[in-house]
Amino acid sequence: MNYTDIERQSKQVRNLLQDVYLRISQQSSNNLLPTPDASVRAAGSLIRQEQYDVVVCGEVKKGKSSFINALMGEEILPTNTQVATSQVCRIINSDTEEYNLVFTDGTRKQISRKELSRYGSQVDADMYGEPVFRNHQLDYIEVKHPLPNLPKSVALVDTPGIGAVYAAHEQITRNYLKKAAAVIFIIDPKNPIVKAEQEFIASALKVTKQIMFVMTKMDNYDEGVIQTMISRDMEILAPLASQTATRRIDILPISSTLLFDATKEKDELLLEMSRFEDIKDALLKMIYNTLGFEINAQVYNILNGYNTRAMQSLAELHTAVTSQPAAAKELADKKFAKQQEFMRDWGANGSKIREINDAIKQPIRGLENEARSLFSQTHHIYKNMAAEIDNLSSLDEAKRLSNNMSARLSDSYGKSWKDTIENCAEQIESILASYNAHLNDLDSANARVSVDAFSIKKSSFAERLTSGRNSYFTGMFITSVFAIPLTLVAAPLTLAVAAIGALLGIGAGVMTHRDTELKQYKQQLKEHLNKCFSQIHDEFLVKPQSDGLTRLQETEDDLQRNTQKTMEQIFEQHKANNEKQLKLIEEQVQADAEKRKQKLAEITQLQQQWKPVVTGLQQAKAILSQLEQNKAL
């Protein structure tokens, strides 16, 4: 099945589930139905999501930025014979051009196309110093530009290379894999895939199975050489094949030069010669498999879970209304006993709550251990910077490093600290998602299920989208956790270039004995590195703040406090739904014949209105079953 068929079926499922969600949203305001939980709202947001990221990654200088430039038909992203890309660039398929710096706190700053190299090129950073953003941390650079050969729903993410001399680059690339719907790994024919690439691919496959391999620069070699190179790399990657979505390794060649000319000139013959159509078909098939099956199946299960609980509630009320008062009283007593059991296990100091609190201690302890590792001299950020100083071979290199060392440290520590907290939050989110799912299972136990659940193991990508911070953690949680580290890391390190120069004694006319001067520069740079490191270490792990806690302790406290608040919100919602259902049943025990008749009419009408929800879910499941079968082919 080609991607157009998968796309068509994916859109059919998407439209059906959007309609189901809309009907649930409209009908659930009826007092006879349970209030939807946060996961239902998250599913509604996900099914309306219009854009998905394809991360382009690979070892340095393999042609990642050139490949994306070819898709745009313009030299937009920085390219250079040296390491070119220093930041993540997210290219959104847009009819108009626009360029923005997007910061980790969600704010943005518009820049010009000419300024793109200043903020995104490692060459410029080495020459002029890393850009300094006061009290802000750069997340990525947003480029809005037409991508005529790709659907509007696809955004491309250009990442710094792996295996670079700049250690922070590889960490940036790894972090963005978590947000990818699919990954394009760029290789070139010149050299075999090296160990660093193999290790990166293996670790990437733990995050996403949706990886495809593209060999650039095919116009530099004849067809026979290209095929030999492809066979060579396929053999190297063969042990990883079973871990990919397709369970095989395919390497597709492309000429970025021909693709560039084809896009710029709108030339169909050149486009065919570039071999891009093969890549496009494989990429979109991969994307629509992800979106069409995995994500839609997750949304389906969430909506069908609510459907099960809603139909069970109506069935119980129908039984209470149509039964004799004694039978209705027996049903009410069973419901009351179930509510008491729920309160005993899941209320304050309940056995289940204690289990969850014990489980949450593990990621919190992990956060502390990670923080102490991050802010130690054995961490790769400190060690790599110290090694870079030791390996300086000229005064010019020393000057360049003195200009950007503080900004680089700020960027590296800031992003690593942010990632550390995010990893902890993701683990807590997973616990809370299980907590909520278990309560939903309790609510729908022994239900008369009208539509089967779809059996699917969550992919890491789909799981992050459906059971993550969007569902459970409030904006206040995110602000309270992330505002601390991002402003703080910049504070002790963000020094003007002139101030750094003054600190290090850098100025015109001081270099008389170059070897001696270089040693002095290295020593001064080491001293400055140690000073910066000590400031960060003490600020996070030693220095008490106004509340008497260190920054690390404040972050742990925020995580625990907001996690408890979220748990309480989940508990209270389930408690309220149970109490509402019990009250409705008890009312029928006391109701006279006329009131019971009116309530029966109300229930019957709502059951009729609910039928399109069931029909929509049945139709969606039928198409999902077809997509699953085709995915396995």
Domain-embedded: residue 117: yes
Residue 350 contacts by C-beta under 8 Å, 6 or more apart in sequence? Answer: 343, 344
Q: What is the rounded average pLDDT for all residues in the chain? A: 80
280 located within any domain? no
- Whether 1 is in a domain gets the answer no
More confident residue, 41 or 497: 41
Q: Considering its fold, how many domains does the chain have in total?
A: 2
Same domain for 313 and 214, yes or no, is no
Six-digit token pair at 85? Answer: 């890309």
Statement to judge: residues 256 and 110 lie in one domain: yes
Q: Once rounded to an integer, what is the mean pLDDT over residues 456-468?
A: 46
Domain annotation covers residue 621: yes
Tell me the pLDDT band of 632, cut-offs 50, 70 and 90. low
Question: Domain check: are 172 and 312 in the same one?
Answer: no
Kindly report the CA angle at 462 between 148 and 429, in degrees rounded to 5? 130
pLDDT, position 503:
34
Token digits of residue 28: 């659930």
Last residue of a domain, one of 247, 274, 301: 274
- State residue 633's pLDDT score: 54
Same domain, 268 and 296: no
**Counting Cβ atoms within 10 Å, is residue 403 exposed (0-12), middle (13-18) or buried (19+)?**
buried
Judge if 186 and 326 occupy the same domain. Answer: no
Residues 234 and 360 in one domain: no
Helices (H), 542-550: none
What is the CATH number for 201?
A: 3.40.50.300
Say what the pLDDT of residue 300 is: 93
pLDDT of amino acid 564? 87
Tens digit of pLDDT for each residue in 415-439? 788 888 888 888 888 888 888 888 8
- Identify the pLDDT of residue 493: 29
616 pLDDT exceeds 70?
Answer: yes
Q: Where does the pLDDT of residue 483 fall: very low under 50, low under 70, confident under 90, or very high at 90 and above?
A: very low
In a domain, 600, yes or no: yes
CB neighbours of 152 closer than 8 A, spacing ≥ 6? 50, 51, 93
Q: Which two tokens stand for residue 392?
A: 């300086």
Spatial separation of the C-alpha atoms in residues 560 and 361, rounded to whole Å: 9
Q: Which of 240, 274, 308 is the last residue of a domain?
A: 274
182 within domain boundaries: yes
CA dihedral angle for residue 508, residue 509, residue 511, residue 513, rounded to 10 degrees? 180
If asked whether residues 118 and 40 sit together in one domain, one would say: no
> What dihedral angle (degrees, nearest 10) is formed by the CA atoms of 442, 448, 451, 456?
30
Asked if residue 287 is part of any domain, the answer here is no
> Bridge-partner residues for 187, per DSSP?
215
Q: Which domain holds residue 521?
A: 9-47+292-632
Residues 207 and 337 in one domain: no
Asked whether residue 486 is domain-assigned, the answer is yes
**Per-residue pLDDT tens digits for 158-172:** 887 665 444 555 666
Judgement on whether residues 306 and 351 belong to the same structural domain of the protein: yes
**Are residues 505 and 524 in contact, defined by beta-carbon separation less than 8 angstroms?**
yes
pLDDT tens digits along 561-605: 888 888 888 899 999 999 999 999 999 888 888 999 999 999 999
**Selection from 533, 513, 276, 246 nearest residue 383 by Cα:** 533
